[in-house]
Structure 1
């Protein structure tokens, strides 16, 4: 049961081979055992999840439930009915949400059961996930951060606490934790998944899915987006491979480059044409990315936030954002020019493969107590690659690429032009056949455990 995929669990519940209560009971017990080490959850909804499981079991016809009985985790960044949305902060309202966010409503309507809310950094700004109550750690190496801002989601999936987790990604916040935790993490292209007002980070952020298989990502995304996505194996593709960093002082280390080359060779073995080619990234783009990073938070700061209670790093971030907006540095025209250049890159390229991280994950520490500049510098040095594709609104999928000598997972991201989500998922499924990855760290799940 523990370690089964979402596809397997839903099929077993629909066919009566197990019950939703049995699934949720087993996963809650596993969470109770392992989460004290990893800090994935801010809140576990044990009683509520069991009640929701019973409601699923009482349905006579479960054939229409694609996520029947599947335990899922929701990032503490969207509303879950009856729950406080803390956003990793002591400065936010403690009034429970009266309604589900649309994506939560869609997952629940499909039979999924929300077992908990995952840990995030304050207002989901930073690439590590510690809040006032704990630190999210990578199950592969607990001295390393689970990443951010969907770090709790990445840890929960990697440690088999859930097979499927929601994340959101404004500057890499799905792909960074996916890389830190050795799982798949998809940031879809613009407009694929639902939003509510005030959460789009000036058009940078998208809701997506973390899981351990391409089939699970496709299933979760299909329900979330209310349209079908399928990881069909593609024919021969033209795939560009690039390790070139967009930030001169954040070059990839040797293990990062080795992981990228492993994936490039595997894609070649799968029959694709692979070659070195680098997107032409203007030097000014990182300044633009920084302006949007700080400006988006300042522009969409929730009205119910008590700014006097924000962490010092966050107050600095908001102040810088307001200054950037006043100066016009978050320039949409410059962003549009980058998108046009990125589109031109894909004129004769089907997919691009680049790293997610340039080096190992950040240390699992209380980054929330450190100054803003320390956090910003760490962010740029560790993860210089993801934000380009938020600025362009292109889909990107983090995929495992083995394990580094330091015990951290290796990871790459597959990037495609708008509408390439199916192609990314199909290529990831093909890659899993020629370069298989461990879905969970050794010892996390019994290899002899029966599937439901």
Structure 2
């Protein structure tokens, strides 16, 4: 008997299109794994078992089945994007438990391509922090369940890494795709501004938040991004030679990068040199003010999202984060600091095609009730382990996390690739080169 758990989205869709498998068989097998495994992982806030099987039957009966790029592929959706008939709780007790009338545009595009939504995944409250825990559950790293999966797309990342779904949908406002992907050994890409429809919360964190895929292969990430973007621009192009800058420096003053992550970036650089690319050590000219700019935008986004919610139902760390952000709203709304950052960094990307960095500074914090702790411990924990992602939300430029090597614990390590606006295809191409030369284990050994 063929098993579909652990197969890629590309493999599953091909089998369903060619009628070597039915969408119902594929979805049922993944639902069974969710029931068996998710109690240890905590990926899902809500599982749509019966609804997903009914939708799988609908996919199998579609007249255009043979043309569907995601035919019968089970997907998980981050719980801040609307799924028709399901509530969108955004990790909070303060949000209404009211079913959505329509799908978010990204969910609609996945369903139009033949995907089946099996559930909504756990997030930290209002998708603020880099640890996914709260009133609806705790998402753990399937490779090391003593550690958080990361955040805020932690549940989506955990679902893919645990083999509960082959691919998932998440989003990234300060690293919320790349952080959990790096923790859980996945490929993700935060597209540049405007490539994929956003519509995340109230104003997309001032245009910094982008929707994107979580996958176990570059091919699957490329496929999902193409569908989410509704464009051919991310199709695989002809191989090229890239000018790559390697930086091991944290963009945020006072934060250092641990040896495993620095070593991963060095080793990835060496691999790219051997593959014929022009690789040089070079640090982007990050301004000293970047820490304050990041904090201002991070907190101000939460201040906007918390408006209209009962503060008594919000966790303390969220209330404080929003209160800090309210003071920053006037300067953030003017947008001058982000434009100044872009102007400062643009000459660097006139010289280099791609920036290669560690994806994180150190492994993720312990899986714990961080939502019950104070704001300052959360702030310090987040900043200490994920300082390398925020600049590229502030600029609005594309950035990827790609698995590379392992940590001393045996959990995955990762590197980050960053490019200028419009370079999504080039980043995916370079990530594919890394994958070809240093393949990674795709699914955590939970059985």
Q: Could you say which TM-score interval applies, normalised by the shorter chain?
A: over 0.9
Q: 1:38 aligns to what?
A: 41
1:31-73 Cα shifts (integer Å, max 9, x gaps): 1111111111111110000000011111243122111100000
Matches of 1:205 and 1:14, distance apart in 2? 34
Task: Determine if the alignment matches structure 1 residue 231 to structure 2 residue 229.
Answer: no
Out of 215, 221, 226, the residue aligned to residue 225 of structure 2 is 221
1:9-42 Cα shifts (integer Å, max 9, x gaps): 1111111110000000110011111111111111
Stretch deviating more after TM superposition (353-362 or 145-154): 353-362
Aligned residues: 442
SS where residue 347 of structure 1 aligns?
helix
Task: Determine if the alignment matches structure 1 residue 17 to structure 2 residue 15.
Answer: no
Q: 2:323 aligns to what?
A: 319
Q: 1:449 aligns to what?
A: none
1:263-311 Cα shifts (integer Å, max 9, x gaps): 11111122111110000100101101100001112124354x2222111
Matches of 1:237 and 1:324, distance apart in 2? 39
Question: Where do 1:32-431 residues align within 5 Å?
Answer: 32-196=35-199, 198-228=202-232, 229-232=234-237, 234-301=239-306, 303=308, 305-326=309-330, 328=331, 331-431=334-434
Matches of 1:60 and 1:190, distance apart in 2? 35
Deviation of 1:234 (Å)? 2.8
1:288 and 1:331 in contact (8 A); partners too: no
Structure 2: gaps (5+ residues): none
Structure 1: gaps (5+ residues): 445-452
Distance 1:443 1:148, change over 3 A: closer
Matches of 2:400 and 2:320, distance apart in 1? 31
Matches of 2:209 and 2:78, distance apart in 1? 14
- Length-normalised TM-score, structure 1: 0.95
1:156-214 Cα shifts (integer Å, max 9, x gaps): 11111111111110000000000010101110000111133724100110011100111
Matches of 1:221 and 1:329, distance apart in 2? 29
Distance 1:199 1:158, change over 3 A: farther
Deviation of 1:218 (Å)? 1.0
SS where residue 294 of structure 2 aligns?
helix
Q: Which runs of 4+ in 1 moved over 3 A?
A: 300-303
1:201 and 1:296 in contact (8 A); partners too: yes
SS where residue 350 of structure 2 aligns?
coil
2:253 and 2:288 in contact (8 A); partners too: no
Deviation of 1:331 (Å)? 5.0
- Length-normalised TM-score, structure 2: 0.96
1:185 and 1:398 in contact (8 A); partners too: yes
Deviation of 1:435 (Å)? 1.2
Matches of 1:251 and 1:288, distance apart in 2? 19
Deviation of 1:231 (Å)? 3.3
